[in-house]
Each structure stands twice: as C-alpha cells, then as structure tokens.
Structure 1
Amino acid sequence: MATEQQHDAAAPGPANLSPQGKARRRFARAGVAASGVLLTLHSQPGMAVEVCTTPSGYLSGGLQSFRGPPPTCAGRSPGYWKNHSWPRGCDKNQLYTRIFSSSGPQAKTYGTVSQAAILDPQKWDKHGIGRHLMACYLNVQAGLSTFQTVPMLQRIWLEYQAKGYYTPTAGVRWDGAKIVEYLQGTMY
C-alpha cells in the first residue's frame, strides 16, 4: 500500500486528482493494458478520465479493441506546452494557421496569432478550441498521442470553422464545448 501511494505521488498529472480518480487512472493504465483491450470511459464534467481513442471511437460505448501495440495515450495540456520544449520541427513563432488554416471571420483572429500564443487563453478562441487543438497537434508530433493524427485534428478544425460544429459520426454534432471536452480527455 505504501509503495502504491508513493507511486501515485510521483505520477504526473493534476495535483488535485481525487483518490477515486487516481484509482481509475491506475486501472486504466495497468489492468486494461494487460488485457489487450483499450477501455475508454465517457468523461463526466469534473472527472479526470483519459480518452484514448478517435472521436468516433469515443462515441462507441466505451470498449474499443485494437490490433498491434496499444496506442500511446500520454497527451499534455496547453499549459504544459507553454512551459516545455516543443517536439523537433515545431516552431513556436509560426502562425497557428500554418497548421490549422482559417478563412472568413476566423482568419482575422486565428490568422494573426503564433502557435505559442494560441496556447494562452484568448477571448476570441471560443471554448479554447484553438489552444486545445494546438496542444493535441504537439502531442501527436511528440509521439504522446498515437491514436490521433494531424489530418484528423485538421478535419475537426475545418468542419467546426465552416459549420459551427463537428460531426464525429453520422447524426452526431459536437459544438465547441463538446469538442474541447473530447480534446481535454486525451490529455492529463
């Protein structure tokens, strides 16, 4: 028991994670990985639950099987990337729109901010979509999130920008808040 508590104290993650949250995280990391099945849990507001699947997999009811090595699910938050080194080939000074193109009204705001600056909350970045997409992009580039791809993230952005929502699967529409909820679930 003492070594388990020491392990939890040394484990990266939010300092305010409850004992139940730590138990869920231990279960998700140890038990599920050993079984060869990736368990994803639907995140309720205020819960720190990792989502290690694509948006459509997120909706599939929680249990997702995979072939080959298990996906890496160690994404970092926008706050982490503001204060740490970026993956090789990523340039903090490039415009956000170099990765996530913008048109129409969004081009006037997103088109003027650097990739590093978008990680800070911006009044015009409704729900923080830009900063969370940028963090996910960096997670993919760093190999911390192998179940996501850059084209997948760009599709989320382009559809949201064009329609005001993202459709992860037929008949389902995610508004900005739901997109961010999913993206936050891929980080700890």
Structure 2
Amino acid sequence: MEESKPDKREAILQATMELVAEHGFHDAPCSLIAERAGVAAGTIYRYFENKDVLIVTLYRELETRINAALEEGYTQEKPFRERFMHLVTGLLKFFITHPQEFKYVEQFHNSPYGVAFRRDRIINHSEECGVYGELFKQGMAQQVLKDLPLVLLFDLAFGPIVSVARNHILGFIQLDDVLIERIAAACWDSLKC
C-alpha cells in the first residue's frame, strides 16, 4: 500500500510555523515555505491569498488548538481559583510541550500582525476574549480579582507564563509539575483582591 502524501495545506502551515519559529516572519519567504513544505511556490496561493493571510490563518488555527487543549476538563462549576489555575497551568504546559507553536505565537504577538489582532480583540472588544476574558470579567464582577483594565489582567496572568515558557524552552530553567503549580499560584496572587 502506498503511503498517502500529507495534505498540502497542512504541509504549508507546518512549514510556515517551523520557518517562522526558526527565522522570523521576514526570513521565511514563500519560496522557502514552499520548499520546506515540498510543494511548488504557486501552490501556496491556491490555499492562501497572500503571505499575510497565511500568517494570520496559522495563528488562528494554533489559537484554536491551544483553546481546545485548555478547555479539556474546564468547567464553570469549579471554584474560581481552580478555573484560573487550570487555564494558566494548561497554557504553560502546552507551550513547553509545543515549543515551535510557542515561538510562532510569541513572534506573532510581538509583530504588527499581533498588535493589530490584540488591539482588535482586547481593547476594541470586536471579538470575544475567549475563556480567559470571560473568567477575568466574572472575577472583577464578583470582586475576586483586582479591578484593573482587562489588558492589564492579561499581562499579569500571562506575561509571566510567556517569560517562564521561553526560559524553559531556552534551557535556562527546567519546569516540572510542582514548579508549574507554584508559578500559576504566583500569577493568581498578583491578580486576586
């Protein structure tokens, strides 16, 4: 039986993630993406209008995967702190077990793509902020969390997670479940009333 070729669209997305994680957006031209994906350069444009659309599409697909992983076992019935801990530890564990995805997401958020995306989502509230935003809004309404702008709650909760994940991936620190729980608890302490 002949082994089937991987889906070309998926191969393009995977190659994009790898190259951007390794070299950044500017040093990942479509010709190199196509070569890494094992497709002709023109094939990219059959699936994506241009490189910008490819970059944003990949981010949205990664975000969907991350959210699906975080929502596994997450219920509104659990106490507030437990839900927060679930999300923060889950995100950190996802990032350290998926370093390429982490590098892509981090570069996206620190690029003009990510700035526009975050501005639209967090500041302009054009889209729902996901399970995190819902949790933070609920926490402020119940006076469980400090009454701060939503963007600052995101920074206090997830800024340290991004930094710690980066340090783990770079080999500066080795995280285990106990340390991950302690880090999440420290993030909680920075937000709680």
Give the TM-score normalised by the residue count of structure 2: 0.24
Give the TM-score normalised by the residue count of structure 1: 0.24
- Structure with bigger helix share is 2
Report the structure number with the largest CA radius of gyration.
Answer: 2
